[in-house]
Amino acid sequence: MKKTILALTLSLVCTLLIGNPAISFANNFSNTIDNGKIVNGRMLIPLRAVSERFNSEVTWSQAKKSITMIRGKRELLLRVNSRIGLLNNAAFHLDVPAKIDNGTTYVPARVFVEAFGGTALWSEQERKTTITIGLQQVFIHTEPQKHWRMSQERINVLNEKINKATDLSSYSQIRTHFRPYFTDSFINKIIHSHGIKNNALLSKKAEIEYNSTTAARMHQSAYFESGPINLELVDRYVFYKFVDNQWKVDDVNVGRQIIEP
């Protein structure tokens, strides 16, 4: 009786494995790919890597600069830099042609999933696309985005503009001049105050602290001579905000203190 049950169990397992092509011990690939790309708002996937993870047969023709994928009864042929593809010899139009980057062929994810009857789901938070065909899934992560922190060049430019905003009398178009560097609310503030109150020419930049990907601040300080024997300590707090796809100065607060010997 036990042998009969064991035989039936093994038979059922074999039937499931043979009948379900999504379950395969032959596919040893990881289902995660790390070199997807976002180009002009389109998710581009590395074609060979994705195709092989879906058990597709992939052939590259150097002479024709074309790549052919066969999965089941569907055959997809794409040529590099061509907006015309062939699906089972029927022509169709591509919004973005196949491209080669560092030896890897990329195509829009939509082209691949529509050709082989799948779906593509984009996650903005994780910066990845999940492609599903049948019971199989592959996760394609995009290349890291450009670093969101300020470049030293941008820090220097903003600091220079802050130093020049002590006296606004020389500017005929204050908003036009400072809009690329200051937020509108900060421009309104300095116009109302006729410049940055208690400001000083500070050139030394301290390390910037980031509260988030859109907010940061920097603390600057320096000593200046004040009279024959006294010194004046100037503390400047600069607050930055990421708006209009760039970092701008959102506020500046300056404090002064006389230091007596």
- The pLDDT tens digits for 83-100 are 999 999 999 998 889 899
Residue 215, helix vs strand vs coil: strand
> What is the helix (H) or strand (E) element at residue 130, kind and residue range?
strand 128-133
Numbered ranges of CATH 3.10.450 in the chain: 152-259
User: In this structure, are residues 34 and 128 in contact, taking their beta carbons and an 8 Å threshold?
Assistant: no
pLDDT tens for each residue of the chain, 261 residues long: 444 443 433 333 333 333 333 333 334 456 888 888 888 788 999 989 998 899 889 899 999 999 999 999 999 999 999 999 999 999 999 888 989 988 899 998 999 999 999 999 988 777 889 999 998 999 998 865 455 788 889 999 999 999 999 999 999 999 999 999 999 999 999 999 999 999 999 988 888 888 888 899 999 999 998 878 889 999 999 999 999 889 999 999 999 999 877
| C-alpha–C-alpha distance, residues 133 and 51, integer Å | 11
- For residue 161, the model assigns a pLDDT of 96
Q: What is the dihedral of CA 88, 138, 129, 64, to 10 degrees?
A: -40
Numbered ranges of CATH 3.30.457.10 in the chain: 27-142
List all residues 6 or more positions away from 37 whose beta carbon is below 8 Å from its beta carbon.
43, 44, 101, 106, 142, 143
- For residue 228, the model assigns a pLDDT of 82
Residues in the chain: 261
152-259 belongs to which CATH class?
A: alpha beta
27-142 belongs to which CATH class?
A: alpha beta
Helices (H), 33-137: 47-53, 109-115
- For residue 7, the model assigns a pLDDT of 42
- For residue 14, the model assigns a pLDDT of 37
